[in-house]
Structure 1
Amino acid sequence: MALSQVGATADHRHASGPFAAAAAPPPPPPTMPNLAGRSIFSSSEELTIKIEPGDGRVDPDYGGRGSSSSSSATATKEHARKKQKRNKPTLSCLECVERKTKCDRGRPHCLACIKRQTDCRYAHVANLLEETTRSATNGRRMTKPPKKRLSTGPTEAKSPAASVADRAILTCRAASRGSIALSTGLLSHVPYSLPTASNVFGIGAEHPFANYWTCQGGLPEVNDVLPDKLQADVLVNQYFECVDPVYPMIHRQTFFADYEHFWSLPREDKDRTDASLVALIFVMLALGTQFVTTAEPNNAKRGAEFYASASNQSLRVGSYLSSASVRSLQAMVLIVYFLINDNHASDGWAFAGILIRQAYAMGLHRDPNIVAPHASIFEKQQRRKLWQAVLLQDTFMVVLLSLPPSATHTDVNVDDLTDDSSSIACSDPTDMAYIRGSWTLANLVQETICSPRSLDMPICSTQRQKSKLIADFRAVYRSFPDIFRSWDTDSLTQLAANNKRVVRQTLFLTSNYYHNLMLVHASESADVPINIRGALEAAHEAISAFFMLNMLFEHEARVWWVFNHRAFLEALCIGSILREALKEAPEGEYDRFDRDPVLARAKKDIAKMIQILRVMGEGEQGSEVARTRVTVLSEFL
């Protein structure tokens, strides 16, 4: 079926469903500490003022002259203690220690050794500590309930957002929030239940799946709308070109074997085949259509939605709510990504809830060696890869929505993924490294960022906790392979000429990592200030990955909602930091924002994001969301 025919059919037979929302009134932004009289960018560390003992304050227990002997004895002991040599292990590589250069302690090679082309070796103790830290972040993920706080009165005002990254969203006008896509909740907003429609996270009058189907049609009715094989091959190849590198959960060889076998069957046998396979094929056609650049945009959109509806109908025919399989769950994971890209993030969130329950029901959250000891190596590998796909989707979606994570209880270990190249279960080594890196990052983000933000709690309550969390993030980053860390604009542009798959993986992993690191730096509490420089630098790295994606794959930058929305939130965070810093700047020092390189670069990042969004919003078929976001970001300049 041609895309133009599909679009015509969709216009006549589109169904609607009731989803409504309204934005909650924003709480007043908290006041920043008065930083007048000193530069807030004097160092890369957090702005803290510590008063140590012995700084000139009077000890109330001081006993006058009678205590001089005891104090001198104490001073002698302290002096002797300071002379003792610390037995601290060297964690940097031996080459960096010898050259006295900064080492990022990456494995298997640090960045400094990569650039110098020298042998990178670590001490035995350093390797032991690195393995211990890495295994600790891969353990079983459990969330802890927050301590109960006593109410100070009959009515207690809602606490302001614990992150400057969220306050920018809360202070925006209600009319813009549908385009901003609130990062502080979705269905959890009380006004969501009001009858007034509101386009928040794509919520509108349209049901996500158009209704083309009869009660008795069954799978034959779905197979009737299959395109010819030539067109299907083009769309499936487009899926493996654009989507599979980012979410590599489907074993390509076995899928194409099933795919070719399906097309070789006579029509009667097609109608009796596994409905979950048909659902998987249709959702891959839908995603492939989203990334086609040759079709007219409106026709491509209607065609993709038609294929997604056929995929959903195939799942219904296969009774996906009462039964589950690897194929049906793979199809559901991809349907969620399709809905999000199609500006139906709220529907995707709801559909993902069914997916999580079915994944738990299948036991995907359990170690296959325990629950399926007699399964083949390939089957165990597929279960692990499917669980990580569910876990990643849940974790990084709730980061954007500030809602509680669901894929929290598991004993599946990242390190159990098979690397045996002689086994059919083994995938491309770079794919396996990408999966491991994303999985390890998701484990850390889920417990340390998702859970507290879903309860409006600060990510870090003490300075020591924040320093430890940042160190954990850096340890995860050092565990990424060199190919995902040692890149710049020129090298990635050259790599895109012959290995676009690795380029896409590099950009997605970089964006995910630095976006979450930005949230850590931007978090604050009563005892922990914002690390302004750290937040701006992390936001710059994250939004630069989006700029690279837009430069190398412009159409894909338009389609990927998660990447596009992350970049917009990063621009909001930058703008919020600049605005609050400007309020605290002394009179006559406003030109400092042009002289300080970090501040100047931050303003350029916002300006470049606005420029990209303007291009996305141009013309009659331009994105209304992009145009609204331009208005919101322009207020920061």
Structure 2
Amino acid sequence: METTGGGAFQPTLPKLEHPPGHPLEPNATSTPPKKKQKRNKPTLSCEECVERKTKCDRSRPFCLACSKRQSDCKYSDVANIIASADRGARSTASRSRKQSKPTELGEAPHTSSLQMHVPPTPTNRSQYRSVSLSSTGSSPFLLSNIPYSNQTPSPYFGLGSEHPFANYWTSRGGLLEVIGVLPAKDQADILVAKYFETVDPVYPMVHRRNFYADYERFWSLPDAEKQAADPVLVALHFVVYAMGTQFIPIDSDGRVQMAEFYTSASQQALRLSSYLSRASVRTLQAMVLICYFLMNDNHASDAWAFGGVLMRQAYAMGLHRDPDIIAPRCSLSDKHQRRKLWQAVFFQDTFLTVLLKLPPSATFSDVRVESLTEETDDYATTNGTSLSGSQDATTIINPMSIRNIAPSSDAFPPYEHSDRLYIRWMWHMANLVQSSVCTPRSLGNPLVGSPWDRANLIARYDDLHASIPRILCVSDAAEVLHLATSNPRSLRQNLFFRSNFWHCVMIIHADENEAGGVSCDVKGALEAARQALKAFFDFWEHLKVDAAVWWVFQHRAFEEALLVARILGTQEQALSPGLDGSSPAADPLLAQAKVDVRRCLDILDLAGGEPEMQKTRTDVLKTAFAEILW
């Protein structure tokens, strides 16, 4: 343990040590040193800059550095091909921009054609300018608008175009190779604990008690017997290590390299298990976590493709069917595990497609939300023994526990029950979101046919919000602080629920259907976007390390701030100059929304992630913010 200047204790990760011959161990001596594995990335700089190791701006025909040196500037054939393809894409985008605003490049489909509509004789300061938000166009995921006519294979989702699983493995090494790169047990303990602290609250699909039992049994085996272990179990262990590593506050480059290596080991173990033709609950648990890892590691396009395989395997296993129907003799525990795993697959598919604007896949199921009962709570204990093996004096099944003798007076329920509540209500929300948002947007269709339809749809979301447990939707600053200090697990669940819910409500308010007389509801969209951004601000304030890792949370916040900025950019003439000459800054909602955009921009400028993606987000948002002329 180490202490900071303020006297607070902070856990530190032990030095990462690996067995002799480990691919990432620089001092390995038992085997000859191997040449460092290079990433499969083409060199785009000119040959002269590469040779001199200087920065190249990659301009044609001569880069700036070669022009200053007056040296010969040559590019490789691969670099020229890539540059030619990029120029073609930019030329197409340039022609498109001639018919639209310059700031439309890379915006979301529902913000891709911002237009000015002068309202008929506004009568008061509450009259906002109507905004037309088209829902058509190619997927703008990670700000990429690749023309559908482009025949060259392209990274449709922007960045992360390299293969996500680096190959450290030989063709005949088998599971022995994978077992040989396990971390030290004390390091593995830290990573597993970090996983259950940061990831499990958001995606509670791995039965903690069972995992720890298998985990301790595996580590108690002699090395020779570990080599005969189930490859799927090893795969699940390694991806848990990878996810835990992403949330360890150590050197960024070292953390990324180690996490990617553990994921590669997980994928290799899955390959050795023939996971494409043989699936199990553990297989799908590992695949779900690999998808989330890839998103956080700037390989979102790979996560989308990998998720397609996961979806097919889930269907093949019958996870979409109610266990009471297809497996009535299955144990109650196994039935609950299947339901929770299906919910995790369904949740991942639904809310990833919200960002991608692509068709949802988890559309066929007869598993009932109500079938999730208290037996699904992994934090319940047996005979006074906690899930990690230690004694727990406050177990909920102990009749002499303090909680049962003197029930807590806290405003929120005990955390043992929060997982069940969280799973149920995220499931309810995903059902509603998939039918009302994902399906129509995947085809570029309006979400509603008339103002009456939108009012009814918003009422359905309002009814859902009114029925959810308070612990999942509370946003008051004092109560959020209370959760942060007393129950971080429930706070993580609260933040993810609020962010997803209000993001979808914002999309519905912002959607427009000219044929049906539906225009953007400026007030509704701004209020919902501000609620969603507040969840992101709370995340950054109370759980900054987590907020810097979760790509989905950051990208939702980016889209919310971008939409707000686009709307605010049209409001400079929304108020009648004939009244009192007031600017939009005098309107509290508009002024507060502008402050939120500025704050989100500042946070995204600091948040972790791939530098190019981070820069692209902030540049686009800065451009939109500059269009707010008041």
TM-score, structure 1 as length reference: 0.74
In the alignment, which residue of structure 2 is the partner of 1:2? 16
Percent of aligned pairs sharing the same letter: 46
Q: Cα gap change, 1:11/1:494 in structure 2, threshold over 3 Å: closer, same or farther?
A: farther
Q: In structure 2, do the counterparts of structure 1 residues 480 and 14 end up closer, same or farther at CA, with 3 Å as the change threshold? A: farther
Contact 1:388 1:439 in 2 (8 A): yes
8 Å CA contact 1:41–1:533 kept in 2: the answer is no
Residue 587 of structure 1 deviates from its aligned partner by 6.0
Of the three residues 533, 536, 545, the one matched with 2:526 is 536
Bigger relative CO (Cα 8 Å, ≥ 6 apart):
1
Superposed displacement of residue 203, structure 1 = 3.2
* Equivalent position of 1:162 in the other structure: 134
1:3-152 mapped onto 2 (5 Å cutoff): 12-14=36-38, 16=40, 25=93, 28=100, 29=113, 31-35=115-119, 37-38=121-122, 42=126
- Report matched runs for 1:436-475 at 5 Å: 436-475=424-463
1:39 Cα deviation from its structure 2 partner: 5.8
**Match of 1:279, as an amino acid?**
A
The alignment status of 1:366 with 2:321, answered yes or no, reads yes
User: Are positions 1:410 and 2:434 aligned together?
Assistant: no
Residue type of the partner of 1:405?
Answer: P
| Cα offset, 1:292, TM superposition | 0.3
Structure-1 separation of matches of 2:380 and 2:280? 18
Distance in 2, matches of 1:209 and 1:327, equals 20
Gaps of 5+ in 1: 49-159, 171-176
Q: C-alpha deviations, 1:558-601, integer Å up to 9, x for none?
A: 11000000000000110111123336566688842110001001
Residue pair 1:282, 1:311 contacting (<8 A) in 2 also: yes
1:154-194: CA deviation from partner (whole Å, max 9, x where unpaired): xxxxxx9635xx89x99xxxxxx78x435xx88xx526652
Q: Is the 8 A contact 2:584 2:591 kept in 1?
A: yes
Paired amino acid for 1:249: M
Q: Find the aligned partners of 1:548 and 1:222 in 2 and give their Cα distance.
A: 40
- With over 3 angstroms needed to count, the CA separation of the structure-2 counterparts of 1:3 and 1:578, relative to structure 1, is farther
Cα distance in 1 between the residues matched to 2:362 and 2:149: 27
Change (3 A) 1:532 1:506: same
Report what 2:622 is aligned to: 634
1:286 maps to which of 242, 249, 255: 242
Which residue does the alignment assign to 1:245? 201
With structure 2 as the length reference, what TM-score do the two structures score?
A: 0.74
The separation in 1 between residues aligned to 2:149 and 2:24, in whole angstroms, is 34
Aligned ranges for residues 532-571 of structure 1 at < 5 Å?
532-571=522-561
Q: CA deviation at 1:8?
A: 6.6
Deviation at 1:30, TM superposition (A): 5.5
Amino acid at match of 1:266: P
Kindly report which structure 2 residues correspond to 1:321-470, keeping only aligned pairs within 5 A, or say none: 321-420=276-375, 428-470=416-458
Structure 2 contact 336–376 (Cα < 8 Å) conserved:
no
Residue 217 in structure 1 maps to residue 173 in structure 2: yes
Classify 1:450/1:261 alpha carbon distance in 2 versus 1 (closer, same or farther; 3 Å). same
Would you say the 8 A contact 2:198–2:247 is kept in 1? yes
Q: Name the counterpart of 2:504.
A: 516
Q: Are 1:258 and 2:272 an aligned pair?
A: no
The 8 Å contact of residues 280 and 330 in structure 1, kept in 2 or not, is answered as yes
Matched, 1:605 2:596: yes
Distance in 2 (CA, whole Å) between partners of 1:363 and 1:31 is 47
Structure 1 position 199, deviation (Å): 8.3
1:303 counterpart (258, 270, 275):
258
Q: Deviations over 1:214-246 (max 9, x none)?
A: 111111110000011100000010001110011
Change (3 A) 1:524 1:616: same
Tell me which residue corresponds to 2:182: 226
What RMSD, in angstroms, separates the aligned Cα atoms of the two structures? Answer: 3.1
Letter in 2 for 1:360: Y
**Residue in 2 that maps onto 1:194:** 152
* Amino acid in structure 2 at the alignment position of 1:376: S
Structure 1 pair 610/31, CA: closer, same or farther in 2 (3 Å)?
closer
Letter of the 1:203 partner, please give it.
Answer: G
Provide the C-alpha distance between the structure 1 equivalents of 2:540 and 2:151, rounded to a whole number of angstroms: 37
Structure 1 match to 2:143: 181
Aligned residue identity for 1:402: K
Give the number of aligned pairs: 505
| Residue of structure 2 in register with 1:74 after alignment | none
8 Å CA contact 1:6–1:302 kept in 2: the answer is: no
User: Match for residue 593 of structure 1?
Assistant: 584
Q: Secondary structure at the match of 2:572?
A: helix
Distance in 1 between residues matched to 2:242 and 2:35, nearest whole Å: 17
Residues 541/210 of structure 1: CA separation in 2 closer, same or farther (3 Å cut): same
- Which residue does 1:155 correspond to in 2? none
Hey, what's the Cα distance between the residues in 1 that align with 2:372 and 2:531? 29
For the pair 1:203 / 2:150, whether they are aligned, the reply is no
Residue type of the alignment partner of 1:283: V
Q: Distance in 2 between matches of 1:8 and 1:33?
A: 62
Alpha-carbon separation, structure 2, partners of 1:192 and 1:442: 34
481-490 or 588-597, larger mean C-alpha shift: 588-597
Aligned AA (2:152): L
* 1:624 maps to 2:624: no
2: distance between equivalents of 1:521 and 1:423? 38
> What letter corresponds to residue 16 of structure 2 in structure 1?
A
CA distance in 2, matches of 1:633, 1:320: 42
SS at match of 1:292: coil
Alignment partner, residue 410 of structure 2: none
Partner secondary structure for residue 569 of structure 2? helix
SS of corresponding position for 1:581: coil
Q: How far apart are residue 469 of structure 1 and its match?
A: 0.5
Residue 413 of structure 1 aligns to which amino acid in structure 2? R
